[in-house]
Amino acid sequence: MLTLLDASPWLDDLKRRVQHYGYRYDYKARRIDYSMYLGALPECCDYYARQLAAEGIFTSPPDQVIVNEYLPGQGIAPHIDCMPCFEDTIVSISLGSACVMNFTQLADPTQRYDQVLERGSAVVLQHAARFDWQHGIKPLKFDTVNGVRQPRQRRISLTFRKVKL
Ligand SMILES: O=C(O)CCC(=O)C(=O)O
């Protein structure tokens, strides 16, 4: 999977490199419409999209994927995925390296929860985790899990969504 993704062009207009499939997402405008359609998902993403629907996580296969590359020291700012753009289930698969994802409750930012995203795992954001809690990844070179310092390596995530049009 990593070999296939690395053979595809990376966009480098953010602090981290990304690839968009299905629909391009406009981070500044936080919107998606038909004009941003890029075509069907490539086979490598479509396989997971169909699998996520077959497992009942999505009601039908997701049609948009953003691939994020995080080198050690890179992260993603706390955010809630665009509500008018995407339906209620978001799934992110971690490849290459584990990392800690930090959740902060919007209504009460003193409420925090750290979740280790293991290499090869999928995190499913639905309901409160999708709409009421921000998620982000701190730009660190290592995570501390149960008091143990774990150096980060290159992590690639594939985030699957269904576009609302
Ligand atoms: O890398 C991840 O697992 C999360 C990605 C993410 O939150 C996003 O693309 O909006």
Residue whose CA is at the smallest distance from ligand 1 atom 4: 92
> What is the pLDDT at residue 13?
84
> What is the pLDDT at residue 58?
98
> What is the pLDDT at residue 165?
87
Q: Which domains does the chain have, with CATH numbers?
A: 2-161 (2.60.120.1520)
- At 34-73, the pLDDT tens digits run 999 999 999 999 999 999 999 999 999 999 999 999 999 9
Nearest-angstrom CA–CA distance, 111 and 115: 13
Which tokens sit at 42? Answer: 């490539």
Burial call 105-125: b when 16+ CB within 10 Å, e when fewer: eeeeeeeeeeeebeeeebbbb
The response to whether residue 64 sits with its C-beta less than 6 Å from ligand 1 reads: no
> What is the pLDDT at residue 14?
86
The response to whether residue 81 sits with its C-beta less than 6 Å from ligand 1 reads: yes
3-state secondary structure 45-57: HHHHHHHHHHCCC
Residue whose CA is at the smallest distance from ligand 1 atom 2: 157
**Residue pLDDT tens, the chain, 165 long:** 999 999 999 999 889 999 999 999 998 898 999 999 999 999 999 999 999 999 999 999 999 999 999 999 999 999 999 999 999 999 999 999 999 999 999 999 999 999 999 999 999 999 999 999 999 999 999 999 999 999 999 999 999 999 998
The response to whether residue 100 sits with its C-beta less than 6 Å from ligand 1 reads: no
Distance 148 CA to ligand 1 centre (A): 24
> What is the pLDDT at residue 25?
94
Nearest-angstrom CA–CA distance, 77 and 162: 22
Nearest-angstrom CA–CA distance, 79 and 74: 15
Using a cut of 0.85, tell me whether the model's pTM lies above it.
yes
User: Ligand 1 atom closest to Cα of 155?
Assistant: 1
The response to whether residue 66 sits with its C-beta less than 6 Å from ligand 1 reads: yes
> What is the pLDDT at residue 48?
97
Helix, strand or coil for residue 163?
strand
